[in-house]
Structure 1
Amino acid sequence: MCKKSVFSDELKYFMPEEAELIEVTEHKKNDKPSDDATKALETILNIPLIKEADLDGDGEKEIVGAYKVNNISFIIVIKLIENNYYKIADFEGDYDDISYLNVAPITKSDKDNLVIGYNEDDSNKLSVLDFKTDGTINEIVDHDLYFDDICIDNLTCYRNKDDQSKPNEIAMWKTNARGKEQLSVYRYKKGKLVLALDAYNHYKDKRQTRTAKNTGNDSVTDALDSLDLIEPYEKKDILGKDKKELLCTSEETISEMKDSVKTRENRDNHLYPARQKTKKGIKWGYINNQGKFEIKPTYETAFDFDESGLAVVQKERNWGVINKKGNFVIKPKFQGLSPFIEKRAVAIDKEGFNLINLEGKVLTNRAYDYMNPPSNERVLVTVKGNGAQFDYGYLDMQGEEVIPPQFDMATDFHNQKAIVRVDKNTFALIDKQGNTLHQYNGFYIGELNNNRLVYQKEQGSPFGYLNEKGDVAIKPQFKMGFPFVDQVAIVAVQEGERRYLGVIDKQGNYVLKPEYNDMFPLYKNRLAVGKARDPKRPYLGSKYAIADTSGNMLTDYKFSNVTPFEEKYASAYDEQQTYFINKQGKKVSSLPVLEGTGYLSFANSLILAEIDNRMLYLDKDGTIVWEQKSTIDISQDVRVKDEKFKHSKDHIVYYPQFKGMDNKKVQENMNNRLQKLGVVKRNQNQFEEYDYNYYSDYSVISVNNDLVELEFNSYNLVNGQQRGVPFRYNAHVDIGTGKFYELSDLFKPESDYVTKISKEIKEQIEFAGDALGIYKEAYKGIDFNQPFYIDGEDLYIYFYIYSIAPKDAGYPTFRIPLSKLDDIIDHKGDFYAALKGYRVL
């Protein structure tokens, strides 16, 4: 007989389809045996190993389950967050069979630990896991402990029922080689388990009571005679090691204890996306937590692996999905592909946007003009209506139009509700079936958060807030209003030409007065508040402090930027360093502190860092596990090395320098020119110091014998402007001669290569220009020095952003096989010689 757990379905939603919950057998005595002699006096129940507990100590309970896939055991943990379950842990067990699963306070009295028994050689091996708020899971049993029977109880509570302040003991019974049961009792103290000497008699008595219930009172004496207590005063512990004090392990240093935790973490099978510069451009692959590539860097883009063990990648400009072996489970056939959310992804093909499942099956009956990723089991879509109008609607997770496109505007579902615009000045709050819950009038209505909606009655009028029913909760008075987060909202007021930001509560009272240059929510009841670096030039940016949502300032204005909190930590950087801060805004010195500016983020058992536009992974002690290489091997002797020019945190440039060339003078001249190309901004505008952000980097996109194709990409953002200006430049370098080539150098001097290439591109635009988003009337042909690059046997001609297409089209690029231009190519020229690998004498 199988007894279904109340949380079985919730857990199965996050488990692999082939997985099965692990069950244990329980014998339950029947109070009223049946008269049918064929029926036993007890019922045998198969009970799933599922527990409910507060593992991270936040006061909210998680659900823990054990399951098997292909005879391998796993532990899964899910948590209810804003009415939706999310998976927060899923890891492989130490051994194939899990025989015991329980939860109880072991390390602290106010949080639960996960206690696991793994079946090994007809006994059970103990594991006790401690879940940290930063997402790490530590094993606190640091040597082998076995049991046949186990009891978790609290001796302190027995002595004083009002005292619940101390965690539990773990009592274990194990039959030794002489056939006697040995009792051992442990309690967590000072970072490890120690023998609880004061608890032996208590658990001896409990064993007596349990034995009496199981065997009958006549057998109590016999049972106690067979019970052999581990002598707590012997000079050797249960492993036979000499010891100075009564601990369940020999003395270890803090470093050795951390190593024991790492041993467990090193066994996880998580893979981490990592990018590397190669001779074919920037490629992404996946490393393990020792920093070794498990999947070689061959992808143009790579996302993290999800809970299904799948990752979205880009290969040869198309998107697909791989498993952890690097095999494609969905072939790279899409023009775009989002990461999977709720086991669904948005895929773009030539027809438009589609919804697919984990197998790559298209679920939608038609392609849409746009589609958002799923949220609350609903997918927001748009279709083109009359004229330039788009109609908004929603799909369910099977791709069916559960709410057909009909609205002028719509938001994603949050907390099972969404805002839609029915007509020009009428909005509605709807449920997941499209039923109207409330209706609102106004020019603008924002999303519902904390029972408040931002609203604007008429275009250009002040912003205020409504409650869910549509009553005015905060009268219109603000230049701009933002959604409520953590029971407060950021608002803007206008004073002359300046805009200032403040924070209000749900009644409209100021928590922080409107006197700040910038402000944004960090969540976890924290805010980043910014004062202008230069009050006369506020567009130069802000220095930030941390405040709480009660209006208390927790730090000075010392941060250049802060990211939202991940549990109890946020990433921050100043002018020199990047580090984690706690909720009080203090630097966490026990976690990595890195020179340079960027961000840190917890990634499974590692920490991902992006510092000065370079990627690395570290462990929590700050040891570098993997970092992006700074050199690219061009040939056996020649390589390209990164050089960095950092004027400030807002002005960072990487440029290439060649090493290993035979002719050192040629190498020096070539490197001097490359330095100028990299460091000097590729635009005509110059701004005074700190008035702009400027970032530039390079990549090697192809190597064809002696011809090395370099690509420089820069981004220039003038402070105070909403958008920056990207710029791309290609250099075509001959490592044999040190020459830099232009497009004209590829062709015979008398050839009209401009006309021939222009005609070829025009034909491509006529054939596929609409799909590429090209403005056909804007194309006038190429210039004599048109930007280009060569890869193998193909010439690629590209145009700058905005020149013949909108910004979203990027740099429109056209491929022309060199064979089509063979009659005008200068086969005796230096350019072609470098490309083909021979020298013209």
Structure 2
Amino acid sequence: MKKSMWSVKIILGCLALCIILLCGTACSFWKDSSDSDNAEINLYPAFVVGNGVCKWGLINDEGKFVVKPTYDHIEWEAGKRFARIYARIAEPAEANKEGAENTDPRVADEAPMSVGLIDRSNGKVILQPKYLFVTDFSEGLATVQVAEDKYMVIDEKGKTVFESKDMVGLFSDGLVWFKTLKDGEPLYGYMDKKGKVKIEPIYKEAGSFTDGQALVTIEEGIHAVINDKGKNVSNLSFARVGGMSEGMIKFLDNESGKWGYADADGKIVIQSQFDFVDSFQDGFAIVGLNNKFGLINKKGEFVIPAEYQRIIALGKGYYSAYKGSVPNPKYFPKAVFNQEGQQLTGALYYDVGNYQNGYFSVCDGKATYFIEKNGQQARKLPKFNELGRLEFDGDLIKAQFDRQLKYYTKDGKLVWESKVAYKMGNIYFEERKYMPSWTTVSYYPQMVDYQDVVLQSKINKLIENAVLENNRVHEPDAEGAFPADIREDHYSLNRYQDLLVIKYEAYYYPVGAAHGEPRVRMHHINLQDGTVYQLKDLFIPGANYRERFAAEINRQIAGSTKTEEGEPEMKFAGFKQEPSFQITRDKLIIYLLASEITEYSYPGIISFDISYDKISDIIDTKGALWQSFHKKVSGVEQLTPPADSTQGSDDIPEAEPVY
């Protein structure tokens, strides 16, 4: 019995390294948005994918690779000069002989990754991808974690400025906090740009310097604002503080349990009255009150009333907000507000990008385009009938349409777009996307360049029709809110002689529910005539295969999960409908929802392997389904599958990347 929880992959498999580093009060200072904002950008991250193998490189503004795609991932911010390049520490096992698996090419898998830096102005690698972590550049310097207790600070040419055994943050005002251990206790101090200690490590927590001042914690409940000489400017009597920005310190009043703001002298400027407070940006701060959010100025006056489910800072004093029923902005249309709290647009946009060059990227659920600062559509910039987000990146427009990456000129001419392709023996597949609405998306394969055009069209239509039937479009209600979200964005391809097996994995989420429901869908197609097989086609007529499966499933359950009394923890009561199944070379896989097995509470998919020898007496070995993957295909090389192979196209050559 195999348990398979649906898991959403998060940006970068090395995220665990970031979590280790991004700790304490200093965690918010690892990223800096000011350096290289106006840097010359000549090269753009792009990738090639074939048979699940994804490699990244850099293209020029004509869409040609200048830096060959050799990296396992590239992470970058539009408009920033430097990009992080990643390499797997250990290569994954060879899986391509077993078929081809679709993954989100923007996201690295869970394999450990090492990181380096590449200069997008010239394609030069300034830091080889062999390190644990690297921060953004700030004041021309970046911090690199070399090993568990070894750090170095580099300049923009990759030259080492100094090394340290202590964790080092981001530079600001010419100083950087560092974290060391004394008698096992973490303490913070400050260094200058040469690595010389300027303020001794005597603080429990420490923030970055701004305008010559920094907020520190001396002991629990004792805080201070210090100058760049380490002298106390003011002592703070608040039990808890939440950081300082633009001269405003967030503090918690223990008696009321509410948050307020004080200035750098410790004087209360805005009384404690909020359930949540954010840092001030551009003179404004997002605050929460009675489970709703609003925007205040430095006088504590509401600029946007606290009546929104969520408010999102867009930069330069602009915000988006929505009034939906759950705190997930994806499912609700948002309005855009300016610095004065004036509403510039109606609640029209499911996605609103950050302020950039005087524009915002917006997606209204039907198209993606730019609007100007006054809320009007930017008519001189392109509009795309796809759903996602746009960003200015150098001389191009970067478009992220779900997981498809594209680059356009500013007049809308396509420069480059990502493509995913597979080769399985003598058959080629390309990936297609079905995204009829903001919350419905499916990715699926289509045959291309096959010698039998009629058969290719038939098989492609079968696959496409099944996608349409199994991914019902959910329309928004009168207020624009979506009731459900379905993503069928993961599939795998396997070929066994004449049998093509496609496995789709999806996640259905009713908006507002505690969790969603994973789904598995299979397609078994004969590549010679386009026949779509059902489970019953594997067995002799009249065979009661469901009862045999149920008995085998309960046998496996009893052998793997028992109570303290020695009884099975679960029991399968039997199939209410035809189960989802997967044919492999040497076994049958049956998929069940966890809810189909009593006392199994998590929302997952459980798979059960049933070897053919256990059901050989009811298999129709002369039937079309069995024969489709038990005969030699002429002209196709026979390969011996790996010893531990449980599925795969073991009758075709190793899958080859197609770019």
- Give the Å deviation of 1:407: 3.0
Q: Partners of 1:690 and 1:361 in 2: how far apart?
A: 51
* Aligned residue number for residue 377 of structure 2: 587
Q: 2: CA distance between counterparts of 1:382 and 1:727?
A: 46
Q: 1:380, CA displacement in angstroms?
A: 3.9
Match of 1:298 in 2: 70
Q: Is the aligned partner of 1:286 residue 2:58?
A: yes
Could you tell me how far 1:315 is from its partner in structure 2?
3.1
Q: Quick check: 2:191–2:199 contact (8 Å CA) kept in 1?
A: yes
Counterpart for residue 331 of structure 1: 128
Task: Give the TM-score, by structure 1 length.
Answer: 0.48
Cα pair 1:596 1:612 within 8 Å, conserved: no
Q: CA deviation at 1:338?
A: 3.8
2:365 partner amino acid: E
Unaligned runs of 5+ in 2: 1-32, 89-112, 472-480, 534-581, 585-639
CA contact (8 A) 1:826 1:832 kept: no
Which residue matches 2:151?
354
- Aligned counterparts of 2:159 and 2:449: Cα–Cα separation in 1: 51
Pick closer, same or farther for the CA change 1:508–1:590 going to 2, 3 Å. Answer: same
> Is the radius of gyration larger for structure 1 or structure 2?
1
Q: Do the aligned partners of residues 530 and 702 (structure 1) sit closer, same or farther apart at CA in structure 2, a change above 3 Å counting? A: same
The one of 404, 408, 411 equivalent to 2:204 is 408
Partner of 2:29: none
Which stretch has the larger CA shift, 452-461 or 390-399? 390-399
Aligned to 2:115: 319
**CA displacement, residues 703-762 of structure 1 (integer Å, 9 cap, x when unaligned):** 99999999988777775589999999999999999999xxxxxxxxxxxxxxxxxxxxxx
Shift of 1:692: 4.9
Residue 588 of structure 1 aligns with an amino acid whose one-letter code is: A
Contact 1:736–1:834, Cα closer than 8 Å, also in 2: no
Q: Which structure 1 residue ranges, 5 or more long, are not aligned?
A: 1-83, 92-268, 682-688, 741-786, 790-821
Q: 1:632 aligns with which of 406, 421, 434?
A: 421
Residue 649, structure 1, aligned to residue 441, structure 2: no
**Aligned to 2:411, what secondary structure does the other structure show?**
coil
> Aligned pair 1:421/2:210, yes or no?
no
Query: How big is the shift at 1:610?
Result: 1.0
What is the identity, as a one-letter code, of the residue corresponding to 2:141?
A: R
Summarize deviations over 1:180-227 as a string: whole Å, max 9, x none.
xxxxxxxxxxxxxxxxxxxxxxxxxxxxxxxxxxxxxxxxxxxxxxxx
CA-CA distance at 1:587 after TM superposition? 1.2
Change (3 A) 1:348 1:699: farther
Q: Which residue of the partner structure matches residue 594 of structure 2?
A: none
Deviation for aligned residue 1:461: 0.7
Work out whether residues 707 and 834 of structure 1, in 8 Å CA contact, stay in contact via their aligned partners in 2.
no
CA drift of 1:530 comes to 1.8
Q: What residue identity is the alignment partner of 2:87?
A: K
Partner amino acid, structure 1, of 2:283: Q
CA distance, structure 1, for counterparts of residue 435 and residue 271 of structure 2 = 48
Task: Call closer, same or farther: CA 1:418–1:333 in 2, change over 3 Å.
Answer: same
Any idea what the Cα deviations from partners look like across 1:203-255, whole Å, max 9, x if unmatched? xxxxxxxxxxxxxxxxxxxxxxxxxxxxxxxxxxxxxxxxxxxxxxxxxxxxx
Distance across 1 between alignment mates of 2:265 and 2:286? 22
CA contact (8 A) 1:312 1:321 kept: yes
Amino acid at match of 1:345: A
Length, aligned pairs only: 482
Aligned to 2:319: 527
Pairwise CA distance, 1:828: 14
1:256-267 counterparts in 2 under 5 A? none
Separation in 2, partners of 1:625, 1:333: 32
Instruction: State how far apart, in whole Å, the 2-side matches of 1:651 and 1:735 are.
Output: 29
Distance 2:162 2:60 in 1: 36
Distance 1:679 1:823 in 2: 35
Q: Is the 8 A contact 2:332 2:482 kept in 1?
A: no
Q: State the distance in 2 between where 1:400 and 1:729 align.
A: 61
Query: Residue 408 of structure 2 aligns to which amino acid in structure 1?
Result: L
1:510 paired with 2:302, answer yes
Structure 2 residue 268 is the aligned partner of structure 1 residue 472: yes
Q: In 1, distance between residues paired with 2:399 and 2:206?
A: 36
Task: Describe how 1:48-197 pairs up with structure 2 within 5 A.
Answer: 89=38
Matched residue, 1:438 = 234
| Counterpart secondary structure, 2:384 | strand
Alpha-carbon distance in 1 for matches of 2:431, 2:654: 27
- Greater displacement, 456-465 / 469-478: 456-465
TM-score, scaled relative to structure 2 = 0.60
Distance in 1 between the 2:524 and 2:116 partners? 32
Task: Please name the residue that 1:59 is paired with.
Answer: none
Q: Which residue of 1 aligns with 2:140?
A: 343
Whole-Å Cα distance in 2 between the matches of residues 365 and 480 of structure 1? 39
Identify which of 272, 276, 279 aligns with 2:44.
272
Instruction: Work out whether residues 78 and 391 of structure 2, in 8 Å CA contact, stay in contact via their aligned partners in 1.
Output: no
| Aligned position for 1:548 | 338
- 1:655 touches 1:675 (CA, 8 Å); kept in 2? no
Distance 1:672 1:366, change over 3 A: farther
Change (3 A) 1:379 1:655: farther
Q: Which residue of 1 aligns with 2:398?
A: 608
Counterpart in the other structure of 2:248: 452
Alpha-carbon separation, structure 2, partners of 1:365 and 1:599: 40
Q: Sort the Cα spacing of 1:694 and 1:334 in 2 relative to 1 into closer, same or farther, 3 A.
A: farther
1:825 to 604, 629, 643: 643
Contact preservation (8 Å) 1:525, 1:548: yes
| 1:454 partner letter | K
Change (3 A) 1:347 1:655: farther
Alignment identity in percent? 24
* Greater RCO (CA < 8 Å, at least 6 residues apart): 2
Q: Contact between 1:380 and 1:411, CA under 8 Å: does it hold in 2?
A: yes
Question: How many angstroms does 1:470 deviate by?
Answer: 1.0
Assess if the C-alpha contact under 8 Å between 1:302 and 1:312 holds in 2.
yes
Q: Distance in 2 between matches of 1:449 and 1:727?
A: 46
State the alpha-carbon separation in 1 of the partners of residues 253 and 461 from structure 2: 61
Pick closer, same or farther for the CA change 1:466–1:308 going to 2, 3 Å. closer
Residues 734, 834 of structure 1: 8 Å contact kept? no
Distance 1:506 1:306 in 2: 31
SS at match of 1:476: strand
Corresponding position of 1:240: none
Q: Deviations over 1:535-572 (max 9, x none)?
A: 59998853322223323222222222322212421212
| Counterparts of 1:584 and 1:466, CA distance in 2 | 34
Q: Which amino acid aligns with 1:506?
A: K
Q: Is the 8 A contact 1:651 1:695 kept in 2?
A: yes
Mapped to 2, the partners of 1:320 and 1:327 lie a distance apart of: 11
Separation in 2 of the partners of 1:828 and 1:529?
Answer: 49
Deviation track 1:154-201 (CA, whole Å, cap 9, x = no partner) reads xxxxxxxxxxxxxxxxxxxxxxxxxxxxxxxxxxxxxxxxxxxxxxxx
- Aligned counterparts, 1:658-737, within 5 A: 658-660=447-449, 690-698=482-490, 719=511
Q: Distance in 2 between matches of 1:294 and 1:576?
A: 35
Deviation digits for residues 267-293 of structure 1, max 9, x if unmatched?
A: xx7111123323452222211112222
Mark the CA change 1:633 to 1:835 in structure 2 (over 3 Å): closer, same or farther: closer
831 and 567 in structure 1: CA distance in 2 versus 1, 3 angstrom threshold: closer
> How far apart in 1 are the matches of 2:222 and 2:353?
36
Given that residues 524 and 567 in structure 1 are in contact (C-alpha distance below 8 angstroms), is that contact kept between their aligned partners in structure 2?
no
Partner SS state of residue 323, structure 2: strand
The alpha carbon displacement at 1:367 in A equals 3.9
Could you tell me how far apart the structure 2 residues matched to 1:536 and 1:668 are? Answer: 43
Separation of aligned partners in 1, 2:85 and 2:502 = 24
Match in the other structure for 1:780: none
CA 1:823–1:455 in 2, change beyond 3 Å: closer, same or farther? closer
